Amino acid sequence: MGKNYLCHIVCALLLVSCTSSGKYDSFTPGRTWEDTDGVHINAHGGGILYHDGKYYWYGEHKSENTSSALVGVNVYSSEDLYNWKKEGVALSVMPEGSGHKIEKGCIIERPKVVYNRKTDKFVMWFHLELKGMGYSAAEYGVAVSDSPEGPFEFLYAQRSCPGIWPVNMTEEEISAAKAITQADLDSDRRHDYVVAGAWLARDIEGGQMSRDMTVFVDDDGTAYHIFASEENQTLHVARLTDDYLYHDGVYARVLPGKSNEAPAIFKKDGVYWMITSGCTGWSPNPARLSCATDIMGEWTSYPNPCSGPDAEITFGAQSTFVLPVHGKKDCWIFMADIWTPDRPIDARYVWLPVTFGEDGVPELVWRDSWSLDDMYAR
C-alpha cells in the first residue's frame, strides 16, 4: 500500500470529522466511515444514484474472511453525502445449493444502479462470477426493482453480445482477427495480436468477457455499460436498450491492449473523462486518465491525475465511480476503495473532489479532510 499509507490513516484518525451531534460534516479519506448505526459502511466497489432528494449508495457486502458474496448487495441512503443510513440488502444471494447463478458463494462485484424514466424502474448491473469457477465465467448480471431501496429481482446473467463484432472494427480488421492462430500468440508479437483482437475473435460465438464495470447515462438518456473484456486487456463500451435491461448490439473496443480495469466515467462540456486502473489484482497501481468526445470513439490517454502522498498508487486505492453532486455545477466526487483482502469487510473508502487544472484536465489531489463547502469556498 506504499510507505505513506499508514501515515494517511493515522492522520485521518486524528481528525475530528463530526459535528457536536455526532454526525459527519466532512469526508476523511481512508478512515473508518460509520453508518447511522455506528457500523463501518459495507458497500464496496460501489456506485451512487440520486433520486427524489436522496442519494443511494449500492455496494458489495464484504465478509470477514472472504470477498465471495455471502449476503449480496447492500444499499445505504443519505441526504448530505456524509451521513448514511443502511436501508438493507438491495439484492440478496440465493440459498447455498440452489444452483442459481447468484447462489451464495458466487462473486458479485461493482454493482451500479440507474433509474429508467420511461419504465419507472431501477436497474442494477454488476459483474458476476459463478460459484466455484474463479474468474472464468466473466459475466454481467442484471436485476430490477420498483424502488431504489429494493428488493431487486434478478433477471439474468450472461456474456456480452455473442456473435456481434464491434462497430469500430473494419471488415479487414475482423478478417485479420479471425485469422490469428495460437502460433501467433506464442510468438514475440503476442501483444500485437491481442490488440488486433485475438481474444475478441476467440469469444465471438459465446459472447465477450465482462469483468470490472460501470454504467453511465448520457445527457440524452442513452445508457452505456463499460467493462473490462478480452482477458482484461481491452475495455468495451456497450449501448443499452431503451429500458436499460439489455445490450442493444452496438458496442466498441476502447484502448485495446492497454490492460485497463475499474472504469469510472463522467462528462464535462461535451467531453467524456474516464479514470481506470491497471490490472494488478488487489494491489494498487497508478490511476489512469483518458478522454473522448464520442463515448465509442477514439480515446486519448493522459498521465496519472493523482497528486500528493502515494499518488503513484492512487493513494492506496482503486477507482469505482465518479459521482456528480446534485445541484452543483461541475462538481464531481471521485470514489475509490482501499482493498484489504486479508479482511475484506475492513476495506476503506477514498472520496476526493475532482478538480481541474489550467488546461482543463481533471486532477485528484489528496486531502486528509474536506467538505463540499470547502470546494466552493475557493
State how far the Cα of 137 lies from the Cα of 156, in Å rounded to an integer. Answer: 14
Residues in the chain: 378
Rg of the chain in Å (alpha carbons): 20
Q: Give the pLDDT confidence score for residue 377 in this predicted structure.
A: 57
Q: Give the pLDDT confidence score for residue 375 in this predicted structure.
A: 80
Q: Over the stretch 135-183, which tens digit does the pLDDT of each residue have? A: 999 999 999 999 999 999 999 999 999 999 999 999 999 999 999 999 9
Q: Give the pLDDT confidence score for residue 23 in this predicted structure.
A: 87
State how far the Cα of 246 lies from the Cα of 224, in Å rounded to an integer. Answer: 10
Single-letter amino acid code for the residue at 39: V
| Stretches in the chain below the pLDDT threshold 50 | 1-3, 5-22, 378
Q: Give the pLDDT confidence score for residue 374 in this predicted structure.
A: 84
Q: For the chain, what is the largest distance between any 2 Cα atoms, rounded to a whole number of angstroms?
A: 68
Q: Give the pLDDT confidence score for residue 21 in this predicted structure.
A: 44
Domain 5-164+204-377 has CATH 2.115.10.20: yes
Q: Quick count: other Cβ atoms within 10 Å of Cβ 220?
A: 5
Outline which parts of the chain fall under CATH 2.115.10.20.
5-164+204-377
Q: For residues 156, 297, 113 and 370, what is the CA-based torsion angle, rounded to 10 degrees?
A: 150
Q: Please report, in angstroms and rounded to a whole number, the separation of the first and last CA atoms in the chain.
A: 31
- The helix or strand, by DSSP H or E, that contains position 302, with its residue range, turns out to be strand 300-302
State how far the Cα of 247 lies from the Cα of 239, in Å rounded to an integer. Answer: 6
State how far Cα 312 lies from the chain centre.
Answer: 20
Q: Which residues pair with 59 in a beta bridge?
A: 74
Name the nearest CA neighbour of 369 among 8, 1, 6.
Answer: 8
Q: Over the stretch 26-62, which tens digit does the pLDDT of each residue have? A: 999 999 999 999 999 999 999 999 999 999 999 999 9
Single-letter amino acid code for the residue at 49: L
